[in-house]
Amino acid sequence: MLQGIMELQYKVQNYDWGKLGKESMVAKLLSSADSSITIDPDKPYAELWMGTHPNGPSLIIERNVFLSEYIQDNLDAIGPVVKKRFGVAVPFLFKILSIGKALSVQAHPNKAHAEELHAKFPDLYKDPNHKPELAIALTPFEALCGFRPLREIQNHLQKLPELTKILPEDCVNTFLAHKEHGDSGIPLKQVFSSLMTSDKAVIAASLNTLCERLEKEEEGTQSALSFPLLRRLHSQFPGDVGCYALYFMNYLRLRPGQAIFLNANLPHAYLSGDCVECMACSDNVVRAGLTPKLIDVPTLVEMLDYSSYSLDQLLFCPQMEDSNSCIWRPPVPDFAVVKIRVETGDSYNTAVRPSPSLIIITSGSGEACDTEPVAARPGVVIFLKASRQLTLSPAADSHLEAYQAICNV
């Protein structure tokens, strides 16, 4: 019987924005972990969930019991430090995402705001927790994140009469005349709020006119006004106000291994690619565009962080722990993520941590061992008890790469 490590069966979510079939990293990991699974080439494989979230709880394979049930009867698995801070719980949800179509323009409330929204609107905001998120690119990854520097937004508006003519003239003029300094968020909030609350039919007509104009422009103009991205978003969500968000928010193209941290109130929208994601256990999302789901524009425009960010400011860099591992430590206690890579002919003992761990193998092959070995191949997920150590040993002709989610305590 394995003592410290347990292999998990996880939940796959087939949301319609996911990549199709084996184009999806989620599908590749799923079929690698279990060769009996047939991947449907026409089905979206969007998310792979690891943890105890009730909408997709992980099962301990050898015991045929849910991880959430196991920890209730085995408090040593959580450890005293995490138990004191979070109770008997795995307070984070660990995921792999494979994005084929844009996700909604959204933000997440802070803890106090989440408690307030849950108390007032429990049917919409189903828990009182915050939902900070960390996304680490596995493949080239695109996202909108945070508001652009003020000058960039002003330059866009000056070149987009189709947009400015549907907004209040005094609001636009005040924003265009504003110099970037401490209270830049006030005129930005006014103009962004005006956009998000504009009549849907007016927005749709404006977007159609803009797309028709840019289609006829030279490549340089198209590039300067992000027409390839606008055209793609408009094809996915025709007439949606969220298409205009790209002129207000930073457009990030992450290379594999680069990451972003999404703190409370930071506007964002994932656009494409595969990533490792970790978040606090919550379903609190406030949406306002690029989605058929319920939107809550008044809440979103009031809560947003209207600070301007450069692309460099949004990249969230890890710290090296040793020659085999680096760690992303967000400014929240709920989670941190470690990337581990072990080359051929080597082996690696993970750090002993006061937290339980969820570990997914993302590439290579070999063994993962505590008291007994588990075959390590892409898609295999392991639960490691608090204060235990895992030895990763690649096969003779391979390497092992893994991501480990822990509590940041």
Instruction: State both tokens at 177.
Output: 């005349």
230 and 323 Cβ atoms separated by less than 8 Å: no
Beta bridge partners of 358: 383, 405
Q: Identify whether 287 is a catalytic site residue.
A: yes
In order of 15, 152, 191, 265, the CA distances from 175 in angstroms are 38, 12, 7, 22
Cβ neighbors of 190 (< 8 A, separation 6 or more) are: 171, 174, 175
| Pairing status of strand 373-376 against strand 11-13 | unpaired
- What does the alpha-carbon distance between residue 218 and residue 312 come to, in Å, rounded to a whole number? 30
Burial of 349 from C-beta contacts in 10 A (0-12 / 13-18 / 19+) = exposed
The DSSP secondary structure of 184-251, one letter per residue, reads THHHHHHHHHHHHTS-HHHHHHHHHHHHHHHHTS-HHHHHHTTHHHHHHHHHHSTT-GGGGGGGTEEE
| 3-state class (DSSP) for residue 292 | coil
Q: Which one of 232, 287, 377, 388 is the catalytic residue?
A: 287
Instruction: State both tokens at 303.
Output: 């809560």
Residues forming the active site = 287
